[in-house]
Chain A
Amino acid sequence: MVYFIEQFLNGIQLGMLLFLLAAGLTLIFGIMDIVNLAHGSLYMIGAYFAASFAEWTDSFVLGAILAVIATFAVGIVLEIVAIRRLYARSHLDHVLGTFGLLLFFNELVRLVWGPAGMTLSLPSEMLHAVEILPGLFYPVYRLVIIGATLTVAGLLYGLVMGTRLGMLIRAGASNREMVGALGVNIKLLYTLIFGLGAALAGFAGLMQAPILTVQIGMGENILIAAFVVVTIGGIGSIRGAFVAALLVGLVDTVGRAFVPDLLHVYLTTSASASLGRALSSMMIYLVMALVLIVRPEGLFPATSK
């Protein structure tokens, strides 16, 4: 039971990180209609910025804040220089162009920071584990991740549901031509949304960085998982992204923890270990295929197209 709760918390934590990535992706998808493969690069850049700034300022928190601001700036510049020119093109051109950006960013990071990875070390008070239930010790930092990402998710919800900017974002997700026709500066709105998505991705990257190493290509596998989240949730829907992110996070973590054990009941040790590993990696894709078979537009389709 204790093990189950621990895995459940890990699942929530992964789900929340996925949500940060997926929220940006789904907004960019839903509003600008852009397939952005370079979103994982922003996640990676956020982590590299945080590692450098933390080393420079000697403070994790200060480094993290500076990194989010810097990634936001990178997103804004990227939108103005490149992404903006892709709006009029086909989805295939988006894939091609942002794939090019992904290659470019991986190489740029290798040039600037070198091929070896970096580590982002935590302040000492976040290093130990606390007993959250009798017999269950859980690392403080993982709780910090859950808390911080939930806070950001809440702020994002407030921004999208409660402010004028959020109103424009929601309007843009359901009918962007009409928003433009009503005299909203749609260009500026797009730039801001892309910057916001970049900042969220960068934040996700730097929060994950102390657990894994900061390395080139770190954003790629999680990007695919974030795409799965966006597709399950329905393109353009923040609410869908939230539900789907938790679903994917839990399915992935709990699957990895328990599928090999379940198979072990029926199979020999080595067979269940290898099959279990494969099967648990496949789980989220199976879930996605199931969802799309039942609902080809995802769980919460936002657009009325």
Chain B
Amino acid sequence: MNPRLAVNAVVLAVLALVPVYAARTGDPFLMTLFTRVVILALAALSLNLIMGFGGMVSFGHAAYLGIGGYAVGILAKEGIGSGFVQWPVAIGASALYALAIGALSLRTRGVYFIMITLAFAQMIYYVAIGLDRYGGDDGLTINQRSRFGGLLNLDNKVVFYYLCLALLLTGIYLVWRLVNSRFGLVIRGARSNERRMRAIGFPTFRYKLVCFVIAGAMCGLAGALLANHTNFISPAMMHWTRSGDLMIMAVLGGMQAMFGPLIGAMTFLLLEEQLSRITQYPNLVIGPLLLFVAIYVNGGIDGLLGGGRRG
């Protein structure tokens, strides 16, 4: 059994058994932490689809978390509590936003692309601050989680956790199928040499835009989950440092690996949690660690597991 498979299996087993362990030890915080890990892993996964496989380094991915979250929060406040409405709206709004900014941003290259995605995310951030009816700067408490009739009760922490985990695994499967399809080959081809892909007749702009929209929609779903998890939305959900966190998770785990974003999110959030228990100054360790990874590690944690075919 190669080490990559072993690590993936261990991660899956740990995630599957978290609620059991939490029930045994009676530690409710463990559930909160791991639900967060799973949700942010879904967001990092969607970022990795465009960044790792498509080479589109977006520095504004947290905007979709915010849009998804605000869709849930705003609808809840206006009396529409059904998840059958809230979640499709969250996904649809994120996809629409991704379509609009993608159409503009994908005209630029390299650092300009990083900067323009950052700028659009900042705009959405300020829009949220301006929404006085929905809490403005302070944010808005959501009184009731999304309702799914008799189907699912999200107030049950274990049910909600397994729902998030199921969505994450579905997401990983979808990304895997996508990346290895003809569509995925075009996207990956455009990352390595866009000019050549165009020369052999692929309208790469359209392919990249579709990929960008899929990633946005997926992250919008993560935003809807996050709002349900914290019962709270605020502009801080889409602060630019949050976009940075998502990038860290994707890079840390390994951008060419299907489980990379999940492993990255898990490592980053658990490390942050552990360090802030030991010291008041966790970032004195995390900061240099990120620098070290940026300088010396190729392919993140996945890269440490040795070569071989990935993806």
Q: Residues of A at under 8 Å CB distance from B? A: 29, 35, 37, 82, 85-86, 89, 91-97, 99-108, 110-111, 220, 224, 227-228, 230-231, 235, 270, 274-275, 277-279, 281-282, 285-286, 288-289, 292-293, 296-298
Query: Are B112 and A296 in contact (CB-based, < 8 A)?
Result: yes
Query: Are A97 and B295 in contact (CB-based, < 8 A)?
Result: yes
Residues of chain B from 148 to 189 with CB closer than 8 A to chain A in the complex:
none
Q: Which of B29-37, B71-79, B121-129, B201-209 is near enough to bind chain A?
A: B121-129
B57 near A: Cβ within 8 Å? yes
- 11 inter-chain pairs at a CB distance below 8 angstroms, sorted by A residue, are A35-B111, A91-B114, A95-B59, A96-B248, A96-B293, A97-B293, A97-B294, A97-B295, A101-B287, A289-B120, A296-B112
Query: Are B57 and A107 in contact (CB-based, < 8 A)?
Result: no
Q: Which of B12-20, B130-138, B213-221 is near enough to bind chain A?
A: B130-138
A105 to B286, CA, bound (A): 11
Residues of chain B within 8 A (CB-CB) of A288 are 115-116, 119
- Known pairs A82-B295, A100-B294; list 5 more (Cβ under 8 Å): A37-B244, A91-B114, A99-B248, A224-B122, A278-B127
A220 to B123, CA, bound (A): 15
B278 near A: Cβ within 8 Å? no
Give the number of A-B contacts (CB < 8 Å): 141
At the interface, is chain B mostly helix, strand, loop or mixed?
helix
Residue of B59, B111, B129 near A235 (CB, 8 A) is B111
B209 nearest CB across to chain A (Å):
15
Which residue of chain A has its CB nearest to the CB of B52? A92
B60 nearest CB across to chain A (Å):
10
A288 to B123, CA, bound (A): 11
Query: Are B104 and A95 in contact (CB-based, < 8 A)?
Result: no
Q: Please report the total number of B residues contacting A with Cβ < 8 Å.
A: 44
B194 nearest CB across to chain A (Å):
14
At the interface, is chain A mostly helix, strand, loop or mixed?
helix
Query: Are A29 and B111 in contact (CB-based, < 8 A)?
Result: yes
Residue of B104, B107, B112, B127 near A282 (CB, 8 A) is B127
B109 near A: Cβ within 8 Å? yes
Residues of chain B from 273 to 299 with CB closer than 8 A to chain A in the complex:
281-284, 286-291, 293-295
Given contacts A91-B114, A289-B120, contact A99 B290 (CB under 8 A): yes
Residues of chain A within 8 A (CB-CB) of B240 are 220, 224
Query: Are A100 and B132 in contact (CB-based, < 8 A)?
Result: no
A235 nearest CB across to chain B (Å):
6
Which 9 A-B residue pairs are closest in the complex by CB-CB distance? Answer: A278-B130, A104-B287, A100-B290, A97-B294, A281-B126, A107-B283, A103-B287, A103-B283, A274-B132
Query: Are B281 and A95 in contact (CB-based, < 8 A)?
Result: no
Query: Are B136 and A274 in contact (CB-based, < 8 A)?
Result: yes
